[in-house]
């Protein structure tokens, strides 16, 4: 492990690494209690949030104006919200209780073309399920651990057009770049073999790719261009090739309890955040151990994110701060990445030992959004 | 006052100045150059000129040397600008701007996104082709996140409301005294007929007459040109719509863009309103278009600002982008300063850049106006001074700027400071502005000679400020 302080003198001046976020420009007020998840739409105009109050909200990103509020539950929290990564549709997947709800936000947030396309996408699986009743494409028996249903008409009127019910509460949802596959992680499930699921939206299909998973699954992500799938358990990150159905690589970040992972948009570097205050940078072409260990927080780090297009990353911690870094990954794998700490942003007040719960980047700009207690 | 530094010579340094003004009513009798101490500042010079004018009521004055306001002592100014104290310095004096004081606030049910003014001095009346010159009582138009348009008289009364938008209104303007244009998150540009009583105290009406479809996403701002009946819309779908308020000029609306009929929502009212498409869609921006304006002198030219960091110049006769200026931040607002020949653009980086759109210009930014502490989202030119403009920001203030008020920066960049900061009256008594402009963001501003500076924002207020004469 390298002490980052010892690297500081050789690093470029942060002022030469602009743009990066430096001030708070808008607050999004309305949620009651913790906001557990937030996500910016692929066009960079709207912010979706979900939290303890069981609501999903859509906000105008620039002004902080709440445009829509949708109550999914009166008793259960919304654990994650995530826009489907397509510009032709306008769909939010929201994990609430044991359900994943697929929402087309109403109120002029999507245009008629997007609305029609989104409905087609959410409907197509019903047709597929009818014509292929008992078997999945692979010929395997369809697991009964997942149910794809049409919600009640009351919910449909509010824009909830598809419900996926799992046996155990999904805490994480990760989309594949194309927006047809997505994966959920239900860490509290009794059977570890069903903790990780990969779903096909167009076929309403659910598969559990791992019969035996060593360790408790925390979070997952898809590679941007290769058929690789990253699974983080408490202490390990494993990389699987979904086509070959084999384990490609096992990373040993050396963390006691991993909280989040973020894969660089080029797919060659992975950030791992941990509840034991460490942020770990893995170069996937190098060793199984981290290329860099960053210790900048006094409390657990809950979330980490690479910027989708700029050389930036950010993490959010229970100490109530965000740390913004410059992280330049060379396209040429022979050159190592440079990491420069840029700015500490004061985030939310620390309430009940919880500070910043989630962080997200704007798809193009050096703007990040964070959530915590309201 | 002489004993502060030992290095100073005992005898006060002096400089020969020649005082001139362009205002006839405060002209000095031709006296020739006068000798004054170089330590004089604006205030002492103002006292001196008032004494020479033998005014009964002192007229506060500002002083300009080489087109720049004197903000320091004469001595410091001459040193900073490399002017020799041996020569005769031409000093122009102008009436000082009176601080724009709070006149009134009109309360709304939701955030106010945009404002416009109809008065005898407003363009919607001045640029009309018919020479009818009735003395209209001023009206104030506001667009709100509650989806409504409101027209107010100067007694804080709503004299007309317009409800047709299905979600937040983001822009509203008078095209003529009888035609209002609005747009918003529902992607439509709507044309309204404004019937009004000339006294301003009787109820009028706003009736939708046209629904214009062409945008695939929220419309953020509008520009109108009264003489040519042209309307421009800046949309977050990356395009700019060019429209007319005349139904027969416009093509049919694309079927795919019309709202999907919903049984539960009554469309009976809206369906009576004819639907049309754009004259043209201007394409070229790579991200949301935030604002658009016509060239003040050439109605075939328009300018737009975008989140893609660029300002584009458009030829409206061919719908072609003829020039692109790239800055280093997202741009949220634009306004053409006709006499200065510059474009002012408000940025996400909290400043205003002044851009010279002429092809011959070599630098991207002619000047930078600094002082706001959050995004600058709306700009308006002073209708009476070619040097002044007002900006509104998410920091909860409007600021008045004078291009002659230059702060000498460290580098080559010319930096301007605001001459007045207009706070929200709703936040009166607060010692500190809230972080991130929370609760006080100002979304729209308009400057009219008769009514004053009108602004609207997150405090659900339209606020009017006016400087005295
Ligand atoms: Mg997240």
ipTM of the complex: 0.91
Contact yes or no for A70/A110 (Cβ under 8 A): no
Q: Which residues of A207-227 are buried (b: 16+ CB within 10 A; e: fewer)?
A: bbebeebeebbbbbbbbeeee
Q: What secondary structure letter does DSSP report for B252?
A: B
Is A112's CB within 8 Å of B329's CB? Answer: no
Which residues, 6+ apart, have CB-to-CB distance to A123 below 8 Å? A161
Torsion of CA B195, B197, B203, B208, to 10 degrees: 10
Q: List B353's β-bridge partners, or say none.
A: B345, B368
pLDDT in tens, A131-153: 776 555 555 555 567 999 999 99
User: What pLDDT is stored for residue B4 in this prediction?
Assistant: 46
Q: For residue A279, what are the β-bridge partners?
A: A273, A294
As a whole number of angstroms, the distance between CA A46 and CA A33 comes to 21
Residue B360 confidence (pLDDT): 74
Q: What is the mean pLDDT of chain A?
A: 90
Q: Look at A67 and B185 and tell me if their CB atoms are within 8 Å.
A: yes
Q: Which residues of B touch A120 (CB under 8 A)?
A: none
First to last CA, chain B: 35
Nearest to A25 among B111, B217, B394 (CB): B394
CB contact (8 A) between residue A365 and residue B307: yes
Whose structure tokens read 């996140």?
B145
Long-range contacts of A133-140 (CB under 8 A, 24+ apart): A136/A203, A136/A205, A136/A207, A137/A200, A137/A203, A137/A205, A138/A207, A140/A207
**∠ Cα A59 A64 A69 (to 5°):** 35
pLDDT higher than threshold 50 for residue B264: no
Assess whether pLDDT exceeds 70 at residue A94. yes
- Look at residue B265 and tell me whether its pLDDT is greater than 70: no
From chain B, pick out residues whose CB is under 8 angstroms from the CB of A64. 436, 438, 441
Could you say which of A29, A107, A112 has the minimum Cβ distance to residue B167? A107
pLDDT, tens digit, 9 for 90 and up, residues B397-422: 999 999 988 876 556 678 998 999 99
User: How far is Cα of residue B283 from the mean position of the Cα atoms in its chain?
Assistant: 25
φ/ψ of A190, rounded to 5, equals -70, -40
Q: Do B168 and A65 touch (CB under 8 A)?
A: yes
Residue of B nearest to A24 (CA): B436
**Over 80: is that where the pLDDT of B459 sits?**
yes
pLDDT in tens, B94-115: 988 888 999 999 999 999 999 9
Cβ–Cβ below 8 Å for A25 and B374: yes
Residues B24-38 pLDDT 10s: 888 988 778 999 999
A262 C-alpha vs ligand 1 centroid, how far in Å? 10
User: Between B145, B259, B438, which is nearest A27 by CB?
Assistant: B438
Candidates B225, B349, B332; CA nearest to B289 is B332
Q: Under a CB-based contact definition with an 8 Å cutoff, are residues A203 and A140 in contact?
A: no
**Cα of A28 vs its chain's centroid, Å:** 20
DSSP code at position A69? E
Cβ(B330)–Cβ(B307) below 8 Å: yes
Paired tokens of B404: 């002659």
CB B243, CB B231: distance < 8 Å: yes
B5-8: long-range contacts, CB 8 A cutoff, minimum separation 24: none
**Which pLDDT band, with edges at 50, 70 and 90, does B389 fall under?**
very high
B166, B287, B377, B378, best to mutate vs chain A, most A CBs in 10 Å: B287
Q: Are strands B68-69 and B34-37 parallel, antiparallel or unpaired?
A: unpaired
Cβ atoms within 10 Å of A161's Cβ, excluding its own: 19
Size of interface A-B (CB pairs under 8 A): 80
Give the one of B256, B307, B349 whose C-beta lies nearest to A112's C-beta: B256
User: With 0-12 CB in 10 A as exposed, 13-18 as middle and 19+ as buried, what is B24?
Assistant: exposed
- Contact criterion met (CB < 8 Å) for B167 and A65: no
Chain A residues in contact with B394 (beta carbon < 8 A): 25-26, 63
Give all strands of the β-sheet with A279-283 in edge-to-edge order: A258-263, A269-274, A279-283, A292-294
Q: What DSSP state is assigned to residue B434?
A: P
């Amino acid at each position: 492990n390298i002490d980052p302080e010892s690297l500081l003198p050789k690093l470029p001046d942060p002022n030469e690494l602009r743009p990066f976020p430096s001030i708070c420009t808008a607050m999004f007020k309305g949620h009651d209690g913790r906001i557990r998840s937030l996500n910016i739409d692929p066009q960079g105009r709207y912010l979706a949030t979900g939290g303890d109050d069981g609501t999903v909200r859509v906000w105008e990103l620039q002004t902080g104006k709440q445009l829509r509020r949708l109550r999914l539950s009166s008793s259960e929290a919304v654990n994650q919200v995530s826009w489907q990564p397509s510009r032709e549709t306008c769909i939010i997947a929201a994990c609430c209780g044991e359900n994943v709800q697929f929402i087309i936000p109403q109120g002029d947030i999507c245009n008629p073309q997007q609305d029609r396309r989104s409905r087609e996408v959410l409907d197509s699986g019903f047709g597929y399920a009818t014509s292929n009743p008992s078997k999945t494409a692979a010929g395997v028996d369809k697991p009964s651990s997942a149910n794809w249903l049409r919600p009640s008409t009351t919910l449909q009127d509010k824009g909830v057009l598809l419900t996926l019910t799992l046996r155990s509460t999904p805490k994480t949802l990760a989309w594949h770049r194309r927006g047809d596959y997505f994966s959920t992680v239900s860490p509290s499930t009794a059977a570890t073999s069903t903790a990780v699921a990969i779903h096909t939206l167009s076929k309403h299909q659910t598969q559990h790719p791992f019969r035996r998973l060593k360790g408790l699954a925390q979070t997952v992500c898809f590679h941007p261009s290769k058929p690789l799938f990253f699974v983080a358990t408490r202490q390990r990150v494993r990389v699987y090739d979904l086509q070959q159905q084999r384990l490609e690589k096992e990373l040993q970040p050396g963390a006691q309890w991993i909280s989040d992972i973020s894969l660089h948009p080029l797919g060659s570097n992975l950030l791992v955040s941990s509840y034991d205050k460490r942020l770990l940078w893995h170069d996937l072409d190098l060793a199984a151990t981290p290329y860099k260990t960053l210790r900048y927080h006094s409390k657990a780090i809950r979330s980490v994110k690479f910027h989708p297009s700029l050389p930036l990353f950010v993490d959010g911690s229970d100490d109530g701060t965000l740390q913004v870094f410059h992280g330049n990954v060379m396209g040429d794998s022979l050159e190592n990445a440079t990491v420069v700490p840029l700015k500490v942003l004061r985030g939310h007040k620390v309430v009940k030992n919880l500070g910043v719960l989630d962080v997200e980047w704007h798809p193009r700009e050096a703007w990040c959004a964070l959530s915590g207690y309201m | 006052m002489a004993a502060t530094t030992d290095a100073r010579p005992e005898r006060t340094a002096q400089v020969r100045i020649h005082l001139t003004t362009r205002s006839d009513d405060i002209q000095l009798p031709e006296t020739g150059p006068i000798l004054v101490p170089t330590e004089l500042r604006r205030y002492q010079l103002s006292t001196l000129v008032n004494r020479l004018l033998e005014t009964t009521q002192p007229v506060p004055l500002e002083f300009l040397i080489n087109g720049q306001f004197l903000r320091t002592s004469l001595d410091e100014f001459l040193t900073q600008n490399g002017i020799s104290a041996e020569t005769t310095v031409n000093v122009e004096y102008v009436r000082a701007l009176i601080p724009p004081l709070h006149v009134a606030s009109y309360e709304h049910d939701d955030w106010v996104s945009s404002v416009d003014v109809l008065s005898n001095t407003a363009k919607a009346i001045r640029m009309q082709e018919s020479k009818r010159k009735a003395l209209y009582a001023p009206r104030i138009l506001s667009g709100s996140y509650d989806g409504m348009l409101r027209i107010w008289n100067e007694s804080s009364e709503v004299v007309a409301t317009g409800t047709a938008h299905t979600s937040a209104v983001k822009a509203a303007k008078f095209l003529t005294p009888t035609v209002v244009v609005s747009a918003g998150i529902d992607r439509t540009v709507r044309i309204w007929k404004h019937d009004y009583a000339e006294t301003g105290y009787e109820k009028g009406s706003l009736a939708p007459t046209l629904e214009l479809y062409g945008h695939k996403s929220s419309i953020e701002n509008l520009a109108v040109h009264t003489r040519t009946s042209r309307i421009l819309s800046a949309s977050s779908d990356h395009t700019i719509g060019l429209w007319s308020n005349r139904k027969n000029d416009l093509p049919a609306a694309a079927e795919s863009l019309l709202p999907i009929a919903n049984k539960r929502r009554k469309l009976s009212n809206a369906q009576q309103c004819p639907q049309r498409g754009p004259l043209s869609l201007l394409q070229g921006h790579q991200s949301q278009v935030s604002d658009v304006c016509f060239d003040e002198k050439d109605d075939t030219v328009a300018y737009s600002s975008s989140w893609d960091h660029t300002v584009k110049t458009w030829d409206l006769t061919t719908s072609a982008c003829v020039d692109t200026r790239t800055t280093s931040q997202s741009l949220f607002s634009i306004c053409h300063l006709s006499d200065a020949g510059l474009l002012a653009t408000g940025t996400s980086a909290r400043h205003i850049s002044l851009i010279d759109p002429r092809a011959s210009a070599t630098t991207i930014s002619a000047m930078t106006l600094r002082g706001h502490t959050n995004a600058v989202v709306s700009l308006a030119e002073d209708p009476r001074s070619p040097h002044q403009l007002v900006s509104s920001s998410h920091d909860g203030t409007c600021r008045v700027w004078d291009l002659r008020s230059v702060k000498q920066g460290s580098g080559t960049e010319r930096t301007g400071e605001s001459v007045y900061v207009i706070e929200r009256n709703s936040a009166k008594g607060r010692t500190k502005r809230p972080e991130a402009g929370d609760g006080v963001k100002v979304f729209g501003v308009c400057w009219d000679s008769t009514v004053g500076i009108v602004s609207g924002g997150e405090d659900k207020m339209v606020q009017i400020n006016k400087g005295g004469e």
